[in-house]
Chains A and B, each alone.
Chain A
Amino acid sequence: MKLNDKAHFGFGAKAFIGLLEARAADGNYALRNLSIDDPKRLTLRIGSSGSPADVSLSEEMAYLRAGDMLRLNPQTNDIRVLYRGSSRHNFLFLTERCNSRCLMCSQPPRSIDDSYLADDILRMIPWMAKDTRELGITGGEPTLLHDRLTALLGAVKEHLPSTALHMLSNGRLFSYLRYAERVAEAKPADFMVGVPLYADTASAHDFVVQASGAFEETLFGLLNLARVGVRVELRMVVHRHTYARLPQFAQFVARNLPFVDQVVIMGLELMGYARSNLDSLWIDPVEYQDELERCVHHLDQAGLNVFIYNHQLCLLRPSLRRFAKKSISDWKNIYLPECDGCTLKTECGGFFASATLRHSSHIHSIR
């Protein structure tokens, strides 16, 4: 990113959120600074052609369109795309802080003051497309933001009333009923919380999330969310420390938590701590097909909606394939040479790019 002097002056050299507005005849965009209350409009050029502009981005950003939003840092010349009007996979990254430390976390937490992230998001929400179908809230642990989280939920409710909002949370702080009630009051109409539960016993779950007492807090949180009428998705990540009791986990969920809207059984994404602990966590998915099949079958039989994420179709038993969802975002997934010619390739989510590090030795094309 390059800024001219006028841009430096106009932005006070501070990082800011920029919104791409209408494109002029010369191909440059008008750029609105959302981080200051008296918005100054500047011009933005992408690539080398066209008229000089206040801000210039390289050619690789040519996919940007009017309506997209970025964070621009004049001091480091960094930019980060935060929102794309045309994407169905917009995530609001709320914080890097977390009160758990899961063995396989793909986004390891950091104890830093990153409150600017929530401020930026609050600035952006009024400018998002009104027909945005889905929006995700992720972290870190979003519930650590307390008032700012409820403010964010309220902003989505006000500005994006028809958007489906999905939040990932470990649910522990919802063990405080008052907090669950406040979220229920603030939330937009279409809102769901995805809460991970990694075991049917306390010690096994607490071990995976590396926090004593977490199992109890999460379960109280789930009961409180149900009590205040917030829809819940349950998430289970399968690895060497969780696969063995998948069938019993399903029984536990069906019996104790029949009110959840859906249950998602996920494969590992080999990022962050999942890389650090890879040798301890890794199990080839073909080795747990029996447990997975019994688990999914039991949940399905109990009338719960169940999905399998991050699993390649060639590794799943045929009876499980109908539960698999193309869960990896289109711009994130890859396929391997073994996938060439596979008749299920278009239905298969493929791999996270990180799968080049390790993947099942049983990947094959289905013909």
Chain B
Amino acid sequence: MTKLAAGFKQIGHYRISDPYSLLPFRFMRLDAGRHVLTNMAGQHLVVPAGIMPELVERRLPTGHPLVPDLEAGHFVTQGADDVHLELLAAQIRTRQARLADMTALHMFVVSLRCDHSCGYCQVSRVSEDRKAFDMTPKTADRAVDLMLRSPSRQLKVEFQGGEPLLNFPVIQRIVERTKKRAGEQDLAFVIATNLAFVTDEILDFCAAHQICISTSLDGPPELHNTNRPRPGKDAHARTIDGINRCRARLGHDRVSALMTCTASSLAQPEAIIDEYVRHGFQEIFLRYISPYGFAVRAANKVGYETEQFLEFYRRGLANILNLNGEGVRMREVYASILLRRMLTSQPTGYVDLQSPAGAGLSALVYNYNGEVYASDEGRMLAEMGDKTFHLGSVHHSTWESLFLDSPLLDMADRTMTEGLPGCSECAFQPWCGSDRVFHHATQGDAVGHRPTSAFCRRNMEIMRHLVRLLEDDPAAAEILRGWAR
């Protein structure tokens, strides 16, 4: 390198010649030849496996090409220790920013009645004519008043069922009361519906109050109708018709759809994705079936092994990446959530990937009868006789008692992956979360046993797959990085 003018010092003068120091990081084998390192805030670096002994014994020479990457990623430090810790702390604070806000998502089960009889339904349902399973106006009012005690600056009200449109007057009542009584909070409303009962009056109300629609679309007609039976076997046709009517009245982007992967879906990820493309969706959530409610009882019929799901997921993701390569805009939602956690410092609100677990802290469920649960799955367990996740009732609980006189604090304490056995040393810990309800339901234990946990296996393999794509497939990596925003 050409000399600098007199009086200027060369770079060697500014290098600390002593070996670097290690900052806290986790690492594990990515595959035979590589290790993946993650720092405390979830930044990752893939290194050749053989280099690990030298790296951790601080024997890498300062001139080694990996050293600047390790230093810039806060894995090692050479003389600027304080700023590394401060930048890590700032990232962690940003990632956890939502925790201080408390509960933002509030799910109202306004009716247990439903016209569908889906085999995988994770909620209990009763037939259409039994009004005893509707939320009453009085219960609705009390639930709204309780929700408005949440300190969260954003409140998202989600109407669930059963089929919530079967009790539309109570939805109207809740929306109007919430709007009237809310203070400074930002409000958002979503109705999770199969759209079989949508009318012009309902759409007018949704338009007037900027209510979003979330529906279920499992794939092509045959698959959808098999997964989601209803009298007349016309679930798919009604859903598509409903989607089109909602879009026409509310706007294209006001309608989203969710799919659930059943045993019948496993062989046809491409056909399912094509169905989403055909109907103008730009995102799809390749969603694992939940082992609750009817889904547990019907496990033999609709369930499958984690490995089969992973095969389905990888095939589906490859198909979506190919479509993007051909210029079709389509995003896989679960990968997007994970990539945001892997590649940015931004907080993610997804309830199932939080530490401590999001149940209760991020979301509350108000059942039709006024009972309050930490999650929809917790409500389901209660229907099956297990009241572990019951927090109180809108009729006699206060906001404080929901959290303080309930299992919730203990739950939070025992679901921090930073300290859980099997999680604390895992390189993917900063990206993952814990699902206490899942481990309670499947392993009979709040903490759970990771080596036999389907939750752990599924998430580990999806994250491993994403890391490899980012490393090995530049075209895929380019698309995936775009999803992280």
Contacts and interface: CB of A to CB of B under 8 A. Distances in A.
A333 B91 CA distance: 41
A103 B14 CA distance: 14
- Among B13, B15, B72, max chain A CB count under 10 A is at B72
Nearest to B71: A201
B114 to A, nearest CB: 41
A258 B347 CA distance: 12
A111 interface: no
Interface stretch (B78-86, B136-144, B250-258, B460-468): B78-86
Interface in B1-31: 1-5, 8-11, 13-16
A241 B72 CA distance: 16
B5 A277 contact: yes
Contact of A301 (B14, B91, B346, B485): B485
Contacts of B8: 101, 103, 210, 277
A256 interface: yes
A42 B3 CA distance: 54
B464 to A, nearest CB: 21
Nearest to A215: B80
Given A254-B344, A255-B344, A202 B4 contact: no
Given A212-B14, A216-B83, A273 B5 contact: yes
A203 B83 contact: no
Given A201-B68, A202-B79, A210-B8, A255 B345 contact: yes
Interface in B39-75: 43, 68-69, 71-72
Contact of B68 (A200, A240, A273, A298): A200
Contacts of B90: 223, 256
B83 A280 contact: no
A248 B481 contact: no
Contacts of B68: 200-201, 204, 245, 248
B71 A202 contact: yes
A296 B202 CA distance: 47
Contact of B346 (A251, A256, A258): A258
Interface residues of A, number: 35
A interface SS class: helix
B97 interface: no
A301 B481 contact: yes
Contacts of A203: 11, 14-16, 78-79
A26 interface: no
Contacts of A280: 1-4
A220 B86 CA distance: 8
Nearest to B6: A276
B14 A206 contact: yes
A303 B43 contact: no
B475 interface: no
A220 B83 contact: yes
- Among A101, A202, A254, max chain B CB count under 10 A is at A202
A216 B4 contact: no
Interface string A188-209: 0000000000001111101100
Given A216-B80, A254-B344, A301-B485, A204 B4 contact: no
Given A248-B68, A303-B485, A207 B14 contact: yes
B482 interface: yes
A33 to B, nearest CB: 41
B9 A255 contact: no
B267 interface: no
A228 interface: no
A252 B71 CA distance: 11
A279 interface: yes
Interface string B339-382: 00000111000000000000000000000000000000000000
Nearest to A252: B72
B318 interface: no
B80 to A, nearest CB: 4
B87 interface: yes
Nearest to A248: B72
A298 B3 CA distance: 33
A271 interface: no
Nearest to A273: B5
Nearest to A219: B83
Nearest to A206: B14
Contacts of A200: 68, 71-72
A8 B16 CA distance: 59
B481 A219 contact: no
Given A223-B86, A255-B91, A301-B482, A201 B5 contact: no
24 contacts: A103-B4, A201-B72, A201-B78, A202-B14, A202-B71, A202-B78, A203-B14, A203-B15, A203-B79, A204-B14, A207-B14, A212-B14, A215-B83, A216-B83, A220-B82, A220-B83, A240-B1, A248-B68, A248-B72, A256-B90, A277-B4, A277-B5, A280-B2, A301-B485
